[in-house]
Chains A and B, each alone.
Chain A
Amino acid sequence: MFKKILIANRGEIAIRVTRTCRELGIQSVAVFSEADRNSLHVLLADEAYLIGPAPSSESYLNIEKIIEVAKLSGSEAIHPGYGFLSESPVFAKACQEAGIVFIGPTAENIIAMGDKLASRELMKKAGVPTVPGSEGTVESLEEAQTAAEKIGYPVMIKASAGGGGKGIRVALTPKELPEAFRACRSEGLNFFKDDRVFIERFIQNPKHIEVQVFGDSHGNVVHLFERECSVQRRHQKLIEESPSPSVPSEVRQRLGEVAVQAARSINYLGAGTVEFIFDNSTKEFFFMEMNTRLQVEHPVTEMVTGLDLVQEQLLVAMGCKLSFSQDQIQQKGHSIELRICAEDPVTFTPSPGKIRRCRLPAGPFVRVDGYAYPGYEVPIHYDPMIIKLIVWGHDREEAIRRAQRSLAEFMLTGIKTNIVLHKNILGHPQFIDGTYTTQFIEQEITSKPQNQLFMFVDEDVFLISAAITAYSDSKTRSTSEFKLASRWGKVGRQKGLRN
């Protein structure tokens, strides 16, 4: 086994990897930006190195600096986590050239799947079903309009290099196309330095179903069943579960086979995820893209299969055979993951800032992967997701009840979070019966009056608490705080003293 591994990431995923390292007796090396000195991944690692200023382009995306730290610290391998450099073929190659093992797929794998357009063509050739779309990228608005007419509205415009919810726009009508086209290219350029976009059919009642796959360097490829991630907003996932309540067992079988077929066609190495768009009425599925990394939602697969995916990544990276064969992998019970984000639950605007109180749920079959602690200041520079709450139950109903119970125990104050939103979703009939689609949030949550979102608390509790606190504050305010009050108040008080 490796003796020391550098983790080129931050937040909960860096901690997740550190945990497996420690269980296996591997030393972990954290890297951090100037904004992350006090971040939990730094505090929990064995070694920690500053790699640059707060913006990720100068720190977590700084390939040279990270390789330099890996060499300096004597790390044999680098785990890239998700996001940042996890799907950068340049980084994978740089590791190889430096004689450091990149814990992930080969650079060729990443290149094959990194471009959404090329990967779709590749999969078509491999016999994997795909969604109707434009022939290659569209260069101009006119070209986009022609392509969209041919495919038929509604259409989806996607940045060729996009991911993580960035660089995707929908045009329901021809009128919406110009702005969507512009925004998509602009985001592509800003986040991925690539403004190429393509267009495809926007399926009206879609579900997001994905399959976890794993390959080793001995030609073995297996799948670890599906995850459903249809609760999303603007293509950012909020809740994931395994198994999907909408996939019949014969389709589940096919999904797994097709995903393995896709991975096998490119000799895939390590952990990957094949994403499908699933039509809930016809139970058809189409290849969307393959994520060549460990996913945020990998814990739900770990919970239902009982396997540590990070440990398996390390084994495969060392050249070992997969430690399980397809028929040894079983999907047992049901798991749900909720992404807790530092954001306003109504407007979804990010809410960075200092965490005051933080009381995490615990108890049977509850797992919390996060990096929040009292006094920690959530920086503005990175993703707002701070905690993943994962639960397991014998069946879906039990898992939902357990998730609700866990949310009731959750306390996180000082910043706004989407905890209340999760409470609403878990109690929603469409979530409970499993018929929800990727449009669930927009149709059932954000378009509803926000008052309906806050039915968990008597309104007067807010007012009474605020009033008593304000009362106590003004009682304890000393006269030395004159300057905080208005000038008139000061004059008034001085006059009062003179009399």
Chain B
Amino acid sequence: MQFEAESNGIKYEVSVLEGRKAWRVSLKPEGEDWRHYEIPKTDYQFVDQTISFIFKDTSYLVDAIGEGTNYDIYTRGTHRTVEIYNEENLLHESLKGKAGFGGGLNLNSGMPGKIVKVMVEPGQAVAADEPLLIMEAMKMENEMRASAEAIVETVHVQAGDNVEAGATLISFKKAESKK
């Protein structure tokens, strides 16, 4: 089965084959060569509702939770969200006319909270790390900053609004490349 994936800002092509005794997983990070792994099923198995994964002689306890195209992977006190798209997801994304795979030109709320202040307006160009808005959640005021250079397209919220987790707060357009 073929997938496309994105983790920690890097895109991958992924292939998974299930054998009787082993998994064959191949990863190709963008611009690099394929990495092939043959993982005996005894090295990747469920123990006490968690995955015990022995990888390169290192023992990991892994919890993997898939929701839609997001796979939350927890191990050794760390967490990573890996986006996984199969062919159907990719088609779906492109038809929705969204930025789709690798886009993500939206500022979404990672948690439910209340908007305290909005510092930008539609049409405004913002630089990376520029403050966009202040949101209050779990008793703290959190300043949300731009992750990259962009142009504000729509501001979906205003000060005083209560927002749910995952709500889109601000949509962006790609900044025009400097000539």
Decide whether A and B are members of one complex.
Answer: yes
* Interfacial residues, chain A to chain B (CB-CB below 8 A): 165-166, 183, 186-187, 190-191, 234, 344-345, 347-352, 356-357, 359, 380-384, 407-408, 410-414, 416-417, 419-420, 422-423, 451, 454, 456-471, 473-474, 485-489
Of the A-B pairs whose beta carbons lie under 8 Å apart in the complex, a sample of 6, sorted by A's number, is A350-B138, A383-B139, A411-B61, A413-B72, A458-B55, A470-B86
Q: Are A351 and B63 touching (Cβ within 8 A)?
A: no
Interface string of B124-138 (1 = CB under 8 A from A): 000000000000111
List 15 extra interface pairs beyond A183-B141, A413-B79, A470-B3, CB under 8 A.
A166-B140, A347-B110, A352-B111, A357-B74, A412-B77, A419-B78, A459-B7, A460-B55, A463-B27, A465-B75, A466-B71, A468-B25, A468-B64, A471-B18, A486-B95
Q: Are A463 and B12 touching (Cβ within 8 A)?
A: yes
A459 to B55 alpha-carbon distance, docked (Å)? 11
Closest 8 CB pairs of A and B: A419-B77, A486-B92, A413-B74, A466-B82, A413-B63, A350-B138, A466-B71, A469-B64
Interface string of B28-65 (1 = CB under 8 A from A): 00000001010100001000011101011010111111
Q: Which chain A residues lie closer than 8 Å to B18 at the CB level?
A: 471
For the complex, would chain B's binding face be called helix, strand, loop or mixed by DSSP majority?
strand
Q: Are A465 and B62 touching (Cβ within 8 A)?
A: yes
Q: Tally B residues with Cβ within 8 Å of A.
A: 59
Residue of A nearest to B112 (CB): A380
Q: Which chain A residues lie closer than 8 Å to B75 at the CB level?
A: 457, 461-462, 465
A422 to B84 alpha-carbon distance, docked (Å)? 29
Q: Are B23 and A349 touching (Cβ within 8 A)?
A: no
Residue of B nearest to A471 (CB): B16
Q: Are B91 and A488 touching (Cβ within 8 A)?
A: yes
Q: Are B16 and A485 touching (Cβ within 8 A)?
A: no
A190 to B51 alpha-carbon distance, docked (Å)? 45
Most chain B beta-carbon contacts within 10 A, residue among A234, A345, A384, A460: A460
Q: Which chain B residues lie closer than 8 Å to A473 at the CB level?
A: 66
Q: Contact partner of B50 among A234, A357, A460, A471, CB < 8 A?
A: A357
Q: Are A460 and B77 touching (Cβ within 8 A)?
A: no
A467 to B4 alpha-carbon distance, docked (Å)? 10
Q: Are B35 and A460 touching (Cβ within 8 A)?
A: yes
Q: Which chain B residues lie closer than 8 Å to A471 at the CB level?
A: 1, 16, 18
Q: Are A357 and B63 touching (Cβ within 8 A)?
A: yes
Q: Are B77 and A410 touching (Cβ within 8 A)?
A: yes
Residue of B nearest to A183 (CB): B141
Most chain B beta-carbon contacts within 10 A, residue among A352, A414, A470: A470
Min CB distance, B12 to chain A, in Å? Answer: 6
Q: Which chain B residues lie closer than 8 Å to A468 at the CB level?
A: 16, 23, 25, 44, 64
Residue of B nearest to A343 (CB): B138
Min CB distance, A5 to chain B, in Å? Answer: 27
Q: Are B82 and A462 touching (Cβ within 8 A)?
A: yes
Q: Which chain B residues lie closer than 8 Å to A423 at the CB level?
A: 77
A344 to B138 alpha-carbon distance, docked (Å)? 13
Q: Are B84 and A466 touching (Cβ within 8 A)?
A: yes
A328 to B25 alpha-carbon distance, docked (Å)? 63
A394 to B37 alpha-carbon distance, docked (Å)? 45
Q: Contact partner of A349 among B50, B73, B110, CB < 8 A?
A: B110
Q: Are A382 and B3 touching (Cβ within 8 A)?
A: no
A352 to B136 alpha-carbon distance, docked (Å)? 14
Q: Which chain A residues lie closer than 8 Å to B12 at the CB level?
A: 463
A419 to B75 alpha-carbon distance, docked (Å)? 11
Q: Are B60 and A461 touching (Cβ within 8 A)?
A: yes
Are A384 and B138 also in contact (CB < 8 A) when A351-B110, A467-B16, A471-B1 are?
A: yes
Are A461 and B141 also in contact (CB < 8 A) when A357-B49, A489-B88 are?
A: no
A456 to B27 alpha-carbon distance, docked (Å)? 20
Q: Are B60 and A470 touching (Cβ within 8 A)?
A: no
Q: Which chain B residues lie closer than 8 Å to A487 at the CB level?
A: 95
A497 to B53 alpha-carbon distance, docked (Å)? 39
Residue of A nearest to B71 (CB): A466
